[in-house]
Amino acid sequence: MATLTIMKRVIVADDDPQVRTAIRSVLASRGFAVIESSNGLDVLSLPDLGSFDLLITDIVMPEIEGTDLVMRVRRDHPHLPILALTGSAYAEAGDYLKVAQLLGASRTMAKPFRASELMQAVRELVGE
């Protein structure tokens, strides 16, 4: 009997297209289905947001900040794991990451990061 493998679904929200492409490439090569968004408002408008397995979001974005996105997603979809990222030069990256964690991010990571670091965090968050 054949075993059905269900792809884990991940949303990547980052206003930098190169970052989104890099993350999508790493995840897709490891069997994840990836949806990309350049801002948090598009993420919040997804009708099936709660059915995703992971949200990866940048902190500093146009439209709404990633911290606001984290807070809203945590309120409306408390079981959706969230990985918050930042490489902001405007303030200490660690400060943004601490705030994101206080607002409900499951895990945080500073940019730049290695593919292996990303995959370790993703596997922990989606339970693989």
pLDDT for the residue numbered 65: 87
- Per residue in 12-63, pLDDT tens? 999 999 999 999 999 999 999 999 999 999 999 998 998 999 999 999 888 8
Domains with residue ranges and CATH for the chain? 9-126 (3.40.50.2300)
**Residue 5: band (very low, low, confident or very high) from pLDDT cuts 50, 70, 90:** low
pTM equals 0.91
Write the pLDDT tens digit of every residue in 71-111.
999 999 999 999 999 886 555 556 888 888 999 999 999 88
Q: Which CA distances in Å does 93 have to 34, 47, 53, 55?
A: 25, 31, 26, 19
